[in-house]
């Protein structure tokens, strides 16, 4: 099984699936559009959030970072006059230092990510969408901003006029990610922000084309409940860009790539619109409040997938 994922929603969906699938059955293809360099270190927020969640290191209160982490290193950087708007804990710094050390020895991002997951005891395979540079940038009312500058530094406040996935046209899909999709019995689009987490993955042409050609059931999970994002700025982004809102708007973005969609039971109008567009719907409580709730949703998703069968 393959899960396309990024952000907190993607990590929680991955955790639910790991709890119900046989060990090693899940491959998570992670967004790298959020990656950035801080203090000379490559930081991969989506990969790390998924890794920390699946190794039970995650700070569950905030949904990212390492539980009970300290910020002594960041405090020193602040005292030295460095910008510290990107909160990186000491344990978090340890991973970033190790990643850059391994890559300086010639290891690829895919190799480093898989090695980290194995060393942390993760019972799933985690792969970046590509080993090539791919960065999400936003044209805003304050000009062109890197994703982390807009998301963390500016707290998502500047209105967004356009989103660009810089490097996508030249990026080669990870060979392991392509193989995982081709061999998958089920492909799931996590309840991640489509604009910021999943479309950067799908902007790599070979990945999109391989998902589109798959005969396995392909299921999306809505990241919106009542038109509002469970976490993050998706509803604001859709409004800024004048894009269709609600679960139906998200499902429409995956047209030709999904066969089914999980929607919150209260979003009746979205359910009708999605089904009218030829996509089967499973309506349920899609909010993953804790790992048990994520497991419950994962079981429902797998049951729904079994009913879809193989696409013709």
Q: What is the pLDDT of residues 38-78, one digit of tens each?
A: 999 999 999 999 999 999 999 999 999 999 999 999 999 99
Predicted local distance difference test score (pLDDT) of residue 309: 65
Share of the chain above pLDDT 90, in %: 96
In this structure, how many other beta carbons lie within 10 angstroms of the beta carbon of residue 255? 10
Predicted local distance difference test score (pLDDT) of residue 312: 36
Query: Does a structural domain hold residue 139?
Result: no
Does residue 146 carry a pLDDT above 70?
yes
Query: Does a structural domain hold residue 249?
Result: yes
Q: Report helix angle 90-104 to 109-119, nearest 10.
A: 130
Say whether pTM exceeds 0.85: yes
Q: How many CA atoms lie within 13 A of 247 on its CB side?
A: 31
Total number of domains constituting the chain: 1
Distance CA 71, CA 126 (A): 27
Per-residue pLDDT tens digits for 195-244: 999 999 999 999 999 999 999 999 999 999 999 998 889 999 999 999 99
Query: Does a structural domain hold residue 158?
Result: no
Per DSSP bridges, beta strands 125-128 and 260-264 are unpaired
Per DSSP bridges, beta strands 218-221 and 160-166 are unpaired
Q: What is the CATH number of the domain that holds 61?
A: 3.40.50.10680
Query: Does a structural domain hold residue 162?
Result: no
Query: Does a structural domain hold residue 149?
Result: no
Would you say 57 and 31 are in contact if contact means Cβ atoms under 8 Å apart? no
Looking at the DSSP bridge assignments, the partners of residue 162 are 139
Query: Does a structural domain hold residue 240?
Result: yes
Mean pLDDT of 184-191: 97
For 77, the domain range is 2-133+168-308
Distance CA 216, CA 184 (A): 7
Query: Does a structural domain hold residue 150?
Result: no
Helix, coil or strand: residue 71: coil
């Amino acid at each position: 099984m393959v899960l396309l994922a990024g952000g907190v929603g993607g990590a929680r969906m991955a955790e639910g699936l790991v709890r119900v699938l046989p060990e090693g059955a899940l491959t998570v293809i992670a967004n790298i559009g959020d990656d950035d360099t801080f203090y000379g270190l490559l930081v991969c927020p989506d990969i790390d959030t998924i890794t920390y969640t699946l190794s039970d290191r995650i700070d569950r209160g905030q949904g990212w970072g390492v539980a009970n982490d300290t910020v002594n290193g960041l405090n020193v950087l602040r005292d030295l006059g460095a910008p510290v708007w990107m909160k990186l804990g000491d344990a978090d710094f340890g991973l970033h230092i190790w990643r850059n050390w391994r890559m300086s020895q010639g290891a690829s991002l895919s190799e480093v990510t898989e090695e980290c997951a194995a060393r942390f005891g993760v019972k799933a395979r985690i792969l970046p969408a590509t080993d090539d540079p791919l960065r999400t940038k936003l044209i805003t009312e304050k000009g062109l901003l890197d994703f982390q500058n807009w998301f963390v530094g500016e707290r998502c406040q500047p209105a967004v006029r356009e989103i660009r996935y810089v490097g996508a046209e030249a990026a080669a899909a990870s060979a392991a990610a392509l193989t995982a999709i081709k061999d998958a019995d089920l492909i799931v689009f996590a309840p991640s922000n489509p604009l910021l987490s999943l479309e950067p993955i799908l902007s790599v042409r070979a990945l999109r084309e391989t998902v589109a050609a798959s005969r396995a059931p392909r299921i999306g999970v809505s990241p919106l409940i009542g038109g509002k994002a469970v976490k993050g700025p998706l509803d604001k982004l859709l409004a800024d860009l004048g894009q269709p809102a609600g679960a139906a708007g998200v499902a429409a973005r995956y047209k030709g790539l999904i066969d089914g969609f999980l929607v919150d039971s209260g979003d009746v109008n979205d359910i009708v619109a999605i089904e009218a567009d030829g996509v089967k719907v499973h309506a349920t409580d899609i909010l993953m409040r804790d790992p048990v709730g994520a497991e419950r949703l994962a079981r429902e998703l797998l049951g729904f997938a079994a009913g879809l069968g193989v696409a013709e």
